[in-house]
């Protein structure tokens, strides 16, 4: 029953995330050229880490995979013998930018999400984002065209998506470029500032008319 609604998407400083290249970021983290790198915010409660773990358990151990995680540590220890798991812990802004640029694929199979800021950050860096078909993430990432949609809470489907993007560089690049375009069109800080100013002007003008 709300008559006056204003949609303001959060703004990203897209230039801030472009300060380091893919090759520079990987060199900084000591990652070899032939490694496929996943990045995931590890947290059992909301970020879907148990599903990531189950998907990794089912994957071929012969693949050269590195999984970078931030926040939670030790949550993927069960597959440390199969793959290179690097728990980076809590990251500051600069470390996050380096890590996001170093990865090939961002994993965000969340089961509870408020806005999905990290998905937009990944898109800003030109990275494809794998998400569950739930919460607001399909909307935020423009799935299925940009965000790679997986059945909700389905580790097998998550594994399938991870392997598909691993083996298809052209698909990764296509979705990554589309993600960057979406950020420039919808999530830039300039658009955010303009939206806030426009909303304040509209509300003020309505109040002025009502008072007359």
- Tell me, letter by letter, the H, E, C secondary structure of 185-202: HHHEHHHHHHHHHHHHHH
Confidence of residue 200 (pLDDT cuts 50, 70, 90): very high
Distance CA 11, CA 186 (A): 8
Average pLDDT over residues 16-40: 96
pLDDT of residue 184: 94
Q: Which helix (H) or strand (E) holds 123?
A: helix 117-124
Q: What would the two tokens of residue 174 be?
A: 């296509």
Task: Tell me the pLDDT tens digit for each residue of 167-178.
Answer: 999 999 999 999
The residue behind tokens 């597959």 is 79
Give the rounded percent of residues in the chain with a pLDDT score beyond 90.
Answer: 85
> What confidence score (pLDDT) does residue 75 get?
98
Regarding predicted confidence, which is higher, 67 or 10? 67
pLDDT at residue 107, as a whole number: 98
What share of the chain has pLDDT > 70, as a percent?
100
User: Confidence class of residue 9 from pLDDT cuts 50, 70 and 90?
Assistant: confident
d(CA 116, CA 182): 14
């Amino acid at each position: 029953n709300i008559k006056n609604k204003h949609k303001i998407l959060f703004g990203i400083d897209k230039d801030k995330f472009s300060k380091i290249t893919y090759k520079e970021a990987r060199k900084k983290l000591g990652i070899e050229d032939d490694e496929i790198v996943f990045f995931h915010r590890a947290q059992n409660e909301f970020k879907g880490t148990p599903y990531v773990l189950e998907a990794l358990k089912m994957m071929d151990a012969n693949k050269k995979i590195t999984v970078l995680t931030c926040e939670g540590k030790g949550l993927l220890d069960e597959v440390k013998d199969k793959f290179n798991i690097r728990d980076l812990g809590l990251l500051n802004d600069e470390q996050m930018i380096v890590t996001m640029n170093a990865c090939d694929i961002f994993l965000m199979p969340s089961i509870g999400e408020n806005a999905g800021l990290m998905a937009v950050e990944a898109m800003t860096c030109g990275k494809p984002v794998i998400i569950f078909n739930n919460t607001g993430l399909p909307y935020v990432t423009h799935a299925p065209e940009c965000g790679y949609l997986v059945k909700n809470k389905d580790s097998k489907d998550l594994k399938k998506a991870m392997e598909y993007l691993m083996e298809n560089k052209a698909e990764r690049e296509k979705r990554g470029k589309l993600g960057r375009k979406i950020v420039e069109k919808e999530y830039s800080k300039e658009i955010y500032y303009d939206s806030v100013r426009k909303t304040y002007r509209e509300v003020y003008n309505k109040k002025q008319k009502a008072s007359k």
